[in-house]
Amino acid sequence: MLALLVLAALVTAGSPLRRALGLCVALPAFLVPFDAGTPFWRALLAAAAFWGFARLIDLAREPREFGPLRRVVHVLAIVDSRRCEWVPPRFDLAVWSRTAVAAAFMVMSLWTAVVLSPHHGGLPLRWLAGCAFLYGFAETAAGLLEGVGRLLGARVPPVQRHPILARSLRDFWGERWNLVVNRWLRQHCFVPLARRGHPGAGLALAFAASVALHTWIVAAALDLDMVLRTAAFFSLQGVLLAVEGPLGVRRWPLPLARAWALGGTILPSPLFIEPLLRIFAELVA
């Protein structure tokens, strides 16, 4: 799969035909996850294939010409390499300390959800601990990207901005949670349509792409029931986003607005948390 992505990155340059050809070269990478053994590895490879293809779309739509090495680095990077600031390499103790705490919280939450909850607490504890695991996983991933980036001499754009402090779903999904994916969706889905006077259609396209990403990962790893649950969760988030504007959530008192944001994500979260836990269960089982 990596070989396909690297080859596609080398092809995706120059004329529009070559850029389109580069995207076609990468398409077989989507078949690779189905040859992996366990749900975890299938999901991991599916995410890598999807995100590598997303980075190829960056290159296909990039007006500037990059050299071969720059294109390969970009397609293999999780963050947008075009947005990185190059700085002197250093070990950032504060970042790694914060990441270690997040990782410990992540592992403890996953163990609670998978190992402890069947004996104490049942499904409510499983799903609540699963929410905590997802939050810890996102914070750990963000810390690793920042810490490794600093070691390599790159200051990466923020990945998380304290999602728990969100005061609306738009604030949560648009400004705080997983900003790596958010920026890509904004650039390639929302902005092109918003510039043409169709911001609502742009938002709908961004959420459709998000649904496609998450359901694809689950589809590669689990059964149809889990796929439908995942699609239902992210589709519901789109509906709630659409109604919070007319409800005037941004004008609500801060405690009520934050309750809306947390409730809108946590209450329907079992739809996504259950598939997520089934994917990661093998790591602690």
In terms of domains, do 168 and 205 share one? yes
Residue 63 in domain: yes
Contact yes or no for 2/188 (Cβ under 8 A): no
Is residue 233 over pLDDT 90? yes
How large is the average pLDDT for residues 37-47? 93
Task: Indicate the number of domains in the chain.
Answer: 3
Task: Classify each residue of 127-151 as buried b or exposed e, where b means 16 or more C-beta atoms within 10 Å of its C-beta.
Answer: bbbbbbbbbbbbbbbbbbbbbebbe
Give the tens place of pLDDT for each residue, 260-277: 999 999 999 999 999 999
Q: Given pLDDT bands bounded at 50, 70 and 90, which one contains residue 204? A: confident
Closest CA to 210 of 193, 188, 240: 188
In terms of domains, do 149 and 205 share one? no
Residue that wins the pLDDT comparison between 133 and 210 = 133
In terms of domains, do 175 and 254 share one? yes
Give the tens place of pLDDT for each residue, 88-109: 999 999 999 999 999 999 999 9
Residue 270 in domain: yes
How large is the average pLDDT for residues 73-83? 92
In terms of domains, do 178 and 133 share one? no
| Enclosing domain of residue 100 | 85-159
Q: Given pLDDT bands bounded at 50, 70 and 90, which one contains residue 240? A: very high
Spatial distance between the Cα atoms of 250 and 178, rounded to a whole number of angstroms: 21
Residue type, 280: F
Give the tens place of pLDDT for each residue, 157-189: 999 999 999 999 999 998 999 999 999 999 999
- The mean pLDDT value of the chain amounts to 93
DSSP state of 86: E
How much of the chain exceeds pLDDT 70, in percent? Answer: 100
Residue 285 in domain: no
Report pLDDT for 186: 92
Is residue 285 over pLDDT 80? no
This prediction has a pTM of 0.92
Handedness of CA 245, 247, 248, 253 (dihedral sign): negative
Last residue of a domain, one of 77, 105, 121: 77
